[in-house]
Chains A and B, each alone.
Chain A
Amino acid sequence: MAYAPHISQDVSVRVVMLKVLIALLPGIFAYVWFFGPAILVQILLASVTALSAEALMLKLRGKPVLLFVTDGSALVTAWLVALTFPPIVPWWLTVTGVLIAILVVKHLYGGLGQNPFNPAMVAFCAMIVAYPQLMSQWPRAEMNTFEPMLRAIFASDRQLDAIVMATPLDALRTILRDPEQRATIAGILGSHATFGNIGGRGWEWVAAGYLVGGLWLLKQRIITWHVPVAFAVTLALVATTFNIANPDRFVGANFHLFTGGAMLGAFFIATDPVSGSTTPLGKIIFAAGAALLTWIIRSFGAYPDGMAFAILLMNLFVPLIDMLTQPKVFGHRRKSER
């Protein structure tokens, strides 16, 4: 290199992406522990699809294939798609989701670093809109019988009553909306097999796994505190406020944080630097907005979990947020001080 600086830190996009993948492992471990190894099949399926699609697009676009395929970014997208989809969706659903993420959301917008929307979240939203039923069949906790799950994935055997169950968020929502049941939150959480100690049975441990991985990412300085803290604090504040106001109708903060996509969203999805805000204040606004929207959709919306929609909606505001939250440059004064 002819121009300064002539030295650089020993980091690379590959290392950054690899660390994100490593940070997902505790969550995946808990996932396998409670829900069986089907998720690993989905992750493998998603990874192969993502790498193939990535290679194809790079070839078509005349980019160095090997360099970019090995950067790890496609794998991160693939794993996030697999982890947000139910583990027993048919194989073609995962493949279609990943193809949407890589081909459309990533490469049609210009490839690595150019996509204004989070690819995995677009895949999730597209699929839940197109196949709401398939996308809401989740396995029962501690029901890790591998064989019927494999049949569900590959043989389109949808005789799943024995192993399928609504997610905690879905169950809570359905019961609350049924006027005949006249149920209260306390009653539901106590009586239903879906729920565990904090969130959903099993799912609370998966969320805890994501929390552990996320904290490690924070320590590795891959992400900053702004997004996870703003996301968690906002979700907790809103949930607690409404829970106090009407404990029969609105569930509390712990449940919100340890159920559904909250932890994954706080540490791995809202922190996506490409589609998220980049200024310190912008990150806080972005994550707080995403958490607020997640809570609103969960509490009043048509879908049980609102995290994916919330992130996409906030992606829309990123250019505006970034523009309005530029930090004060060294030695300059803020507009209000002039």
Chain B
Amino acid sequence: MLELFRFPGGIKPDAHKEESARTPIAPAPLPPLLVVPFRQSATGGVDIRVKVGERVLKGQCIGSAEGPFGTCVHAPTSGTVIGIESRTLPHPSALAAPCAIIEADGEDAWRERVPLEPFSTDPAKLRTRIREAGIVGLGGAVFPSHVKMNAHIETLVINGAECEPWITCDDRLMRERAPTIVAGAAIIRHLMGAKRILFGIEDNKPDAAAAMRAAVEAAGGKDMQVIPVPTRYPAGGEKQMIRVLTGIEIPYGKLGPDFGVQCFNVGTAHAVARAVLHDEPLICRIVTLAGNYARPGNVEARIGTPIDALLALGEPKPDTDRIVMGGPMMGFVLPESSLPVVKATNCLLAMSPALFPPPPPEMPCIRCGACTRACPMILQPHELYWYARSKNFGKAQEYHLFDCIECGCCAYVCPSHIPLVDYYRFAKSEIRAREREKAAADRARERYEFRKFREEREKAEKAARLAAKAAETKAKLAQEGAAAVIAAAQSRAHPEGKDEA
């Protein structure tokens, strides 16, 4: 049995997993209109490859990856692109970005698919396949997976913790499609040269762990282990999961491979298997409908499906007043429910005042230390709050503001009901804005200095030219003068006409 480690802090909120985890994953019906954002990963850009009016096939690349951090975007069904326009994205920033509006033709016709045999394929080619399949981290952070796979590691961690309350999409995925997850993990292991795979699953999901264990055995599971980890939020945080399974603490600014370990969500491993073995790009994902629904559950929805259409499947109760994308600890309130499902949409939590009562009024911090005891990063949240509030950003950074993973444990336990994470987000964005400003100012200063340097150089060159010219003239004059003197002397010495003789 593997020795488990503890991560510091953490909380135990009510899990509320039962309601949505009871029923199997249901396929969401094909909507008549899909809105597919071209920006689907946390980083990188996309080169738009379709025109309005063009017919596309299911799985066809409509946006190719740009730059090392880009991932491809695909048509989730066959149909016609009837528009390319800027639409609001379901993202905390609520910014708009270009989207393809696709009218489904109902045929759901695939493009040609070319499966790969993973273990005889070159790792570089596998990475390209994963990138071209548009695979990003499906835990919610949507970081491009191919970038994370560009390393050599000892231990591959597959994260099935799913520690956020209410969310059950990974639980259902593990229960129903464990063999595919194991196959995906094996592909990633091969690609990254890892020696062992550790599947970490919170111990409140015994059925998922059993299914995974059976799949590992069926796959002949060499150097693969399914490990139940204690249920304590945020056990599913990447750094926390790695800590619990391996004892390694990855500090801010460092990456897993620096310590010989890398971590992927179970959904990501599943997507990798589908992409490599069936050449199916990432065009759908499991979305949990939990909270204030008459029929909570999990649905498999195509990227681009209007969220409204999914909500209808769960039948929100009449007193639903807002929808959160993600879980109650880290999710954000959707500005409107007409936005499309994206790769980060793991849960649509229906909220009502009865189910999620508004917090009591904010009181002053009494330094009780509850936040400090709950912080999984061993930060001093009350000090960070103090410095963020007083805009003492230098001090906030000294107290490791950027180590904060915004898990929300501190705000959850605060008896004064201070929205602590908001203060940290504010401080972080201010610091980043100032750094950008400073960088811009630095560039401006450099430009100015270069201009001054150039002007001075030109002045100096001009002066040098002038001086050279003057010297030349002087020399010429002197020469002429000298010549005249010589001529005069000669004329004196040799009277005219005699010297040629």
Chain B residues whose CB sits within 8 angstroms of the CB of A1 once the complex forms: 358-359, 419
Cβ of A326 within 8 Å of any chain B Cβ, yes or no, is yes
Q: Which of A2, A8, A112, A331 contacts B251 (CB 8 A)?
A: A331
Binds B, one of A9-17, A80-88, A177-185, A246-254: A9-17
User: CA A5 – CA B7 in complex, angstroms?
Assistant: 20
Chain B residues whose CB sits within 8 angstroms of the CB of A273 once the complex forms: 366-369
In the complex, are the beta carbons of B412 and A7 less than 8 A apart?
A: yes
Chain A residues whose CB sits within 8 angstroms of the CB of B399 once the complex forms: 326
In the complex, are the beta carbons of B400 and A329 less than 8 A apart?
A: yes
Chain B residues whose CB sits within 8 angstroms of the CB of A37 once the complex forms: none
User: CA A273 – CA B382 in complex, angstroms?
Assistant: 11
In the complex, are the beta carbons of B11 and A9 less than 8 A apart?
A: yes
Q: Which of A3, A7, A113 contacts B366 (CB 8 A)?
A: A113
**Chain B residues with a Cβ closer than 8 Å to the other chain, count:** 60
Q: Interface 1/0s, chain B 410-422, versus A by CB < 8 A?
A: 0111111101011
Cβ of B306 within 8 Å of any chain A Cβ, yes or no, is no
Q: Is the interface of A mostly helix, strand, loop or mixed?
A: loop
In the complex, are the beta carbons of A4 and B382 less than 8 A apart?
A: no
CB distance from A244 to the nearest CB of B (A): 36
Chain A residues whose CB sits within 8 angstroms of the CB of B416 once the complex forms: 12-13, 113
Q: Interface 1/0s, chain A 1-39, versus B by CB < 8 A?
A: 111111111011101100000000000000000000000
Knowing A12-B417, A329-B403, A331-B252 touch, does A4 contact B367 (C-beta < 8 A)? no
Q: Is the interface of B mostly helix, strand, loop or mixed?
A: loop
Chain B residues whose CB sits within 8 angstroms of the CB of A13 once the complex forms: 363, 366, 415-416
User: CA A274 – CA B251 in complex, angstroms?
Assistant: 30
Chain A residues whose CB sits within 8 angstroms of the CB of B221 once the complex forms: none
User: CA A159 – CA B254 in complex, angstroms?
Assistant: 75
In the complex, are the beta carbons of A112 and B254 less than 8 A apart?
A: no
Chain A residues whose CB sits within 8 angstroms of the CB of B378 once the complex forms: 327-330
In the complex, are the beta carbons of A329 and B379 less than 8 A apart?
A: yes
Cβ of A71 within 8 Å of any chain B Cβ, yes or no, is yes
In the complex, are the beta carbons of B356 and A12 less than 8 A apart?
A: no
In the complex, are the beta carbons of A330 and B239 less than 8 A apart?
A: yes
Chain A residues whose CB sits within 8 angstroms of the CB of B359 once the complex forms: 1, 8
Instruction: Name A280's closest neighbour in chain B (CB-CB).
Output: B372
Knowing A11-B415, A329-B403, A331-B239 touch, does A4 contact B421 (C-beta < 8 A)? yes
Instruction: Name B240's closest neighbour in chain A (CB-CB).
Output: A330
Chain B residues whose CB sits within 8 angstroms of the CB of A224 once the complex forms: 369, 373
Cβ of A114 within 8 Å of any chain B Cβ, yes or no, is yes
Cβ of B365 within 8 Å of any chain A Cβ, yes or no, is yes
Q: Which of B249, B360, B363, B414 contacts A330 (CB 8 A)?
A: B249
Instruction: Name A112's closest neighbour in chain B (CB-CB).
Output: B364
User: CA A34 – CA B51 in complex, angstroms?
Assistant: 91
CB distance from A12 to the nearest CB of B (A): 5
Cβ of A243 within 8 Å of any chain B Cβ, yes or no, is no
CB distance from B431 to the nearest CB of A (A): 17
| Size class of the contact patch on chain A | 35 or more
User: CA A7 – CA B165 in complex, angstroms?
Assistant: 10
Q: Of residues B358, B368, B412, which shows the largest number of chain A Cβ atoms within 10 Å of its Cβ?
A: B368
In the complex, are the beta carbons of B333 and A2 less than 8 A apart?
A: yes
Cβ of A196 within 8 Å of any chain B Cβ, yes or no, is no
User: CA A10 – CA B366 in complex, angstroms?
Assistant: 17
User: CA A113 – CA B364 in complex, angstroms?
Assistant: 6
User: CA A12 – CA B326 in complex, angstroms?
Assistant: 26
Q: Interface 1/0s, chain A 154-175, versus B by CB < 8 A?
A: 0000000000000000000000
User: CA A12 – CA B421 in complex, angstroms?
Assistant: 18
In the complex, are the beta carbons of B412 and A5 less than 8 A apart?
A: yes
Q: Which of B249, B251, B329, B366 contacts A5 (CB 8 A)?
A: B329
Cβ of B324 within 8 Å of any chain A Cβ, yes or no, is yes
Cβ of B328 within 8 Å of any chain A Cβ, yes or no, is yes
Q: Of residues A326, A328, A330, which shows the largest number of chain B Cβ atoms within 10 Å of its Cβ?
A: A330
Which residues of B, 370-390, contact A by the 8 Å Cβ criterion? 370, 372-373, 376-380, 382-383
In the complex, are the beta carbons of B368 and A4 less than 8 A apart?
A: no
Instruction: Name A328's closest neighbour in chain B (CB-CB).
Output: B378
Cβ of B408 within 8 Å of any chain A Cβ, yes or no, is yes
CB distance from B238 to the nearest CB of A (A): 12
Chain B residues whose CB sits within 8 angstroms of the CB of A4 once the complex forms: 326, 328-332, 406, 408, 421
User: CA A41 – CA B360 in complex, angstroms?
Assistant: 34
In the complex, are the beta carbons of B380 and A6 less than 8 A apart?
A: no
CB distance from B409 to the nearest CB of A (A): 8
CB distance from B9 to the nearest CB of A (A): 9
Cβ of A335 within 8 Å of any chain B Cβ, yes or no, is no
Which residues of A, 296-334, contact B by the 8 Å Cβ criterion? 322, 326-332
Q: Of residues B324, B360, B382, B415, which shows the largest number of chain A Cβ atoms within 10 Å of its Cβ?
A: B415
Instruction: Return 28 A-B CB contacts under 8 Å, by A number.
Output: A3-B421, A5-B412, A5-B421, A6-B328, A6-B349, A6-B356, A7-B13, A8-B414, A9-B11, A9-B412, A11-B413, A13-B363, A13-B366, A16-B366, A71-B363, A112-B363, A112-B364, A113-B366, A273-B366, A273-B367, A276-B367, A278-B369, A278-B380, A326-B399, A329-B251, A330-B379, A331-B239, A331-B252
| Partner-B contacts on A (CB < 8 A) | 1-9, 11-13, 15-16, 64, 67-68, 71, 73, 111-114, 222, 224, 273-274, 276, 278-279, 322, 326-332
Further pairs besides A1-B419, A4-B330, A113-B364: 16, Cβ < 8 Å: A3-B332, A6-B328, A9-B413, A11-B413, A67-B361, A112-B364, A113-B416, A276-B367, A279-B372, A328-B378, A329-B251, A329-B403, A330-B8, A330-B376, A331-B254, A332-B400
6 nearest A-B residue pairs (beta carbon): A331-B251, A5-B408, A113-B364, A331-B249, A330-B377, A6-B328
